[in-house]
Amino acid sequence: MSEETSNQNSGDGSGNLVAPQDILPLFFTSKTQQIFGCIADEDVNAENPHKVIPKETILQDFKDRAAVSDFHPAKKIVLDYPGEELLVVYDADFKYGQNFYLCTTEECKEKILHPELAAGDHETADGEQAEAAEEEIVVWKGPVTPRPWESLGSEIEVEDEKTVENRAKIKMCISRKRSEFGAPVKFADQSEKVMKDATVECLPFEDETYSLKKFELDIGIQAVQNRGENGSQTEWKKPRNACVQYEARFLPEEKKVEAEEAPSLLEFIQKVTPRFELALQQNEIMDVFYDDYVSLAIEDSTFGSKSDNYLKEYQSFTDLLYSKEKVITNTEWHPTAKGIIAVSCAELMSFDERVDNASRIIMTPSLILIWSFSDPIHPQLLLEAPDDIFSFKFNPSEPTIIAGGCVNGQVVLWDISSWNDRLLSHRQTSKAKKNTMTSLPGFEDDSNTDHTPVVRYCAVSSIEHSHKSAVSDLQWVPDHMEVRKLYRYISPYYTCI
Q: Which residue has the higher pLDDT, 304 or 268?
A: 268
pLDDT of residue 249: 83
* 413 φ/ψ sector (left φ>0, alpha ψ -120 to 50, else beta): beta
Asked whether the predicted pLDDT for residue 343 surpasses 90, the reply is yes
Residue 433 — pLDDT band, cuts 50, 70, 90? Answer: very low
Cβ-contact 307, 293 below 8 angstroms: no
Query: Average of pLDDT values for 421-440?
Result: 54
DSSP per-residue codes, 400-453? TEEEEEETTS-EEEEE-GGGHHHHHH-----PPPP-STTTSTT---TTTS-PPP
pLDDT of residue 83: 82
Q: What is the Cα–Cα distance from 367 to 370, expressed in whole angstroms?
A: 10
pLDDT tens, position by position, 439-489: 444 555 555 456 888 999 999 999 888 998 899 999 998 888 877 766 555
Residue 7 — pLDDT band, cuts 50, 70, 90? Answer: very low
Q: Which residue has the higher pLDDT, 214 or 52?
A: 52
Asked whether the predicted pLDDT for residue 74 surpasses 90, the reply is no
pLDDT of residue 15: 55
Residue 152 — pLDDT band, cuts 50, 70, 90? Answer: confident
pLDDT of residue 456: 92
Asked whether the predicted pLDDT for residue 333 surpasses 80, the reply is yes
Please choose, from the candidates 294, 329, 332, the residue with its C-alpha nearest in 3D space to the C-alpha of residue 416.
332
pLDDT of residue 394: 94
pLDDT of residue 196: 74
Q: Is the dihedral of CA 418, 423, 425, 427 positive or negative?
A: positive
Please choose, from the candidates 113, 115, 126, the residue with its C-alpha nearest in 3D space to the C-alpha of residue 85.
113
pLDDT of residue 130: 54
Among 32-36, 130-134, 323-327, 364-368, whose mean pLDDT is lowest? Answer: 130-134
Highest mean pLDDT of the ranges 63-72, 182-191, 286-295, 376-385: 376-385
Mean pLDDT of the chain: 79
Cβ-contact 426, 376 below 8 angstroms: no
Helix (H) or strand (E) holding 133: helix 115-136
CB within 8 Å of 473: residues ≥ 6 apart: 391, 405
Q: What is the Cα–Cα distance from 17 to 5, expressed in whole angstroms?
A: 11
pLDDT of residue 228: 83
Identify the DSSP state of 11.
B
Cβ-contact 218, 157 below 8 angstroms: no
Cβ-contact 40, 48 below 8 angstroms: no
Query: Average of pLDDT values for 14-35?
Result: 79
Asked whether the predicted pLDDT for residue 19 surpasses 50, the reply is yes
Identify the DSSP state of 488.
-
Please choose, from the candidates 387, 377, 444, the residue with its C-alpha nearest in 3D space to the C-alpha of residue 412.
387
Domains of the chain, earliest start first: 23-113 (no CATH), 326-423+451-465 (2.130.10.10)
Asked whether the predicted pLDDT for residue 190 surpasses 90, the reply is no
Highest mean pLDDT of the ranges 99-113, 317-331, 382-396, 441-455: 382-396
Among 88-92, 259-263, 443-447, whose mean pLDDT is lowest? Answer: 443-447
The neighbour count for residue 423, using CB atoms within 10 Å, is 18
Residue 157 — pLDDT band, cuts 50, 70, 90? Answer: confident
Residue 391 — pLDDT band, cuts 50, 70, 90? Answer: very high
Please choose, from the candidates 18, 31, 28, 22, the residue with its C-alpha nearest in 3D space to the C-alpha of residue 71.
28
The share of the chain scoring above pLDDT 90, in percent, equals 16
The share of the chain scoring above pLDDT 70, in percent, equals 79
Asked whether the predicted pLDDT for residue 82 surpasses 70, the reply is yes
Residue 123 — pLDDT band, cuts 50, 70, 90? Answer: low
Q: What is the Cα–Cα distance from 147 to 150, expressed in whole angstroms?
A: 9
Please choose, from the candidates 413, 347, 422, the residue with its C-alpha nearest in 3D space to the C-alpha of residue 384.
413
